[in-house]
Structure 1
Amino acid sequence: MSLLHSLIQKHYYTVIKAFKSLSLCLLCLLCVNQPVVFAQNNDAKKDLSSVKQKIEQQKAAIKLTDEQQQHIQKQLKRDDLAIAKTAAKMNDTQGKQQQTQVKIKQLNKQQQVLETKKKQQEDVLAEQIRSAYSAGHHDYLKLLLNQQGPNKVQRTLTYYQYLNDARMTSIENFEQVLIELGKIEQQQQQQAEQLQVLVAEQKQQKQAIEEKQQERKQTLKTLNSQILSSKQRLNKLEGEEKSLIQTLARIQAQLQKEKELKGLSKLKKKLKWPVRGRIAHSFGTKKQGYLRWKGVLLNAGVGKSVKTIHNGTVLFADWLKGYGLVIVVDHGEGYMSLYGHNQTLLKGVGDRVEIGEPIALVGQSGGQSQSGLYFEIRHKGKPVNPKLWCK
């Protein structure tokens, strides 16, 4: 026991020293690991906060993009309506210009007639003057004092009086012709000045419409700069088509059938296209995704007349998202025709139109990059192929 006790005492301080060293190491390890765990926890919280912030920023960006798109759509509508208003004035000015030109032609014809009369009367006066000069060697006094018989003198005086009356009548007619000719020339001057004013107005209107078109191009550029995915484009087209269907459904619900409108059932392959132009997109072809064209898109220049395919009554005439300025005509028996992307509308709701009558002007409203006419025929709300009716 004394030997064991001696060994313990001998190594006691060594054991205690080793134990203290071990404890100190453990304590150091705990002190080192604890801040690492705290740091990892803080980093995770910061990452989570950053992700949440990015999500909120993305939501805000999407919301801002939607608001910008809505603003651009409203601006596009305002541009289309401004162009329509200017184009309508320009169309009216062209009509007045044609009337003025017709009036000037009429005045020119009247002037030619009066010039002819003037020449004829100048010839008559010249002949009368020559006759008077030839017979003018004897004045009235000589005739009275000569030795000839009174009957002969009386006949001569009567002849002179007749020549004088004829000459005075010719002079009066000549003066009247000159007065009328002066009036004609004054009217011609007024009409020419009016024509110059109309031409100047037309030039200003043309400049205004070109400026509006430039504004719209900038609007379209801004709208197209916001890149849309295929799904977004599909949703956009679906929304536009849904809006059109809802509008047509509302029109159909409000429609009061007119007995004199016999529909289009007996007119297949007998109607003319509303405007001449190549078909850019045919009925039933693929439009986007599973969507297909419900009508046809006809290529045509801006300002060309859009004519109704048959007699009917205008049911709708307004701007429609995706289709621009649209006019819809009821033909009776559930048949309707639709004309979209117009520059301006020449008819209003309730107007009666006859076959071939101009109802609009071709444009590119509704966000189109090129001018053209979108054309549909529907029967009881269902789209049908226009090629079956138009030739």
Structure 2
Amino acid sequence: MLCCFLPISSLATEQQKQDTRQDLSDVKKQIASHKDQLQQNNQQVESIQKQLRKDDLAIASVARKVKDTNTQQTQTRAKIADLRQQQQQLQKQKQQQEGLLAEQIRSAYSSGHHDYLKLLLNQQKPEQVQRTLTYYSYLNDARMQSIGNFQDILQQLADVEQEQQIQADKLQALAQEQKQQQQQMLANQGEREKTLKSLNSKILTSKQRLNKLEGEEKSLIQTLARIQAQLQKQKELTGLSKLKRKLKWPVRGRIAHSFGTKKQGYLRWKGVMMNAPVGRDIKAIHDGTVLFSDWLKGYGLVIVVDHGDGYMSLYGHNQALLKNVGDRVEIGEPIALVGQSGGVSQSGVYFEIRHKGKPVNPKLWCR
């Protein structure tokens, strides 16, 4: 009987092949698992981005209400101050009328004119009767006119006091409304903080952050390109070419990131990031027309203004937008409120100037 034996080296090689096949199989399974996990993460990130947009828009809605309430409060306080001034003037007129009436009454009693019948009967000369009657009629008319004026002043004073009470009640209601709005805003901000934590937990590596920023920048470029393509230039808008170093910054604040500095990886800042407190007015750098006013991934609430001749200015991460597409704006006019929408950790405004779609350094225009 013949027996065949494989060399030991051959057995080892066969075992290595099997081990290698198993390792390859395991690697493929891990790759497939990572792909599935990455896809799930991407879907979750997209879902969280939608929630972030919802949170930002909720805060924007309340912020606009708060600004409107503040405006109404200012107007109401001014009206109350005006009513108080009217009240003081009417009080002075009332005192003057009281003094005039008192003087007329004292004069009438001191001369005996208070008794009309006695005045007539005491006349010894008939020719003086008509003159006395006329004189008495004048005095009586003057006294009646003073009484009428006094009554008018009293009515005006009552009307002013009533209007004062109405305005005071309105001011109190506005204060209560503002308190509720602020509570709602705090609740919305709390929801946004939860959303941001959830978003940051899904973006772990620097490569993922870079991919996120690339996607956001691509979205912004596509949006601006679309705006540029749809833009119908208006002759009255002459652009910014002659305004270098003559424009004011859109908000008072410190520049945290300058144009052209490193952002992430090979990406550079195409505008400036200016730190400023939440709620501060953001003002248009020059006359123009609003081309875009909406939420944009990575930039939050964004407003874009066309200044003519291919020049546009962009303002991002706003708390609220005060203008709509198509609105004309003038230099220095508030167009948005400083915020931290779009997922930034600190409040401020992202500001760009572009000419024919290409970003330019805002420091060349603003001083």
Q: Give me the TM-score of the superposition, normalised by structure 2.
A: 0.91
Structure 2 residue aligned with 1:149, among 118, 122, 125?
A: 125
Distance 1:70 1:164 in 2: 88
Give the distance between the partners of 1:178 and 1:145, measured in 2 at CA.
38
CA gap of 1:151–1:217, structure 2 versus 1, over 3 A, is: same
The residue aligned with 2:360 is 384
| 1:372 counterpart = 2:352 | no
Alignment match of 2:222 (pick from 236, 246, 249): 246
RMSD: 2.7
Of 297, 322, 331, 2:273 maps to: 297
Matches within 5 A, 1:292-371: 292-371=268-347
- Check whether the contact 1:320–1:326 (CA below 8 A) recurs between aligned residues: yes
Classify the secondary structure of the residue corresponding to 1:322.
Answer: coil
Aligned to 2:57: 81
Relative to 1, partners in 2 of residues 1:351 and 1:45: Cα closer, same or farther, differing over 3 Å? same
Matches within 5 A, 1:232-271: 232-271=208-247
2:171 is equivalent to residue 195 of structure 1? yes
Indicate the structure (1 or 2) with the bigger Cα radius of gyration: 1
TM-score, reference length from structure 1: 0.86
* Secondary structure in 2 matching 1:326: strand
Q: Distance in 2 between matches of 1:310 and 1:144?
A: 83
1:20 corresponds in structure 2 to: none
Aligned residue in 1 for 2:10: none
Q: What is the identity, as a one-letter code, of the residue corresponding to 1:221?
A: K
Letter in 1 for 2:127: N
105, 112, 130: which one aligns with 1:129: 105
Greater displacement, 53-62 / 169-178: 53-62
| 1:145 Cα deviation from its structure 2 partner | 4.0
Q: Deviations over 1:262-291 (max 9, x none)?
A: 111110010000001110000010111111
Q: 1:49 deviation in Å?
A: 6.9
Give SS of 1:261's match.
coil
Aligned pair partner of 2:48 in 67, 72, 79 = 72
Mapped to 2, the partners of 1:73 and 1:320 lie a distance apart of 10
CA contact (8 A) 2:113 2:119 kept: no
Cα distance in structure 1, aligned partners of 2:295 and 2:197: 20
Deviations, residues 208-244 of structure 1 (Å, cap 9, x unaligned): 1111111111111111123421211111111111111
Distance (whole Å) between structure 1 residues aligned to residue 303 and residue 26 of structure 2: 52
The C-alpha deviation readout for 1:104-139, integer Å capped at 9, x for no partner, is: 122112111211110110001100111111122884
Pair 144,62 (structure 1): closer, same or farther in 2 beyond 3 Å:
closer
The one-letter amino acid paired with 1:278 is: R
How far apart are the structure 2 equivalents of 1:165 and 1:147? 22
Deviation per CA, 1:184-223, whole angstroms, max 9, x where unpaired? 1111111111111111111111111111111111111111
Q: 1-side partners of 2:17 and 2:272: how far apart?
A: 63
Structure 2 unaligned blocks of 5 or more: 7-14
For 1:186, which of 143, 162, 171 is the aligned residue?
162
Assess if the C-alpha contact under 8 Å between 1:316 and 1:328 holds in 2: yes
Q: Is the 8 A contact 2:112 2:119 kept in 1?
A: no
Q: Please give the alpha-carbon distance, in whole angstroms, between the structure 2 residues aligned to 1:345 and 1:229.
A: 33
Amino acid at match of 1:292: R
Could you tell me which amino acid in structure 2 is paired with residue 346 of structure 1?
L
SS at match of 1:159: helix
Deviations 1:270-329 (CA, angstroms, capped at 9, x unpaired): 000000111000001011111110000001011111111111111111111111111111
Paired with 1:61 and 1:286, the residues of 2 have a C-alpha distance of 30
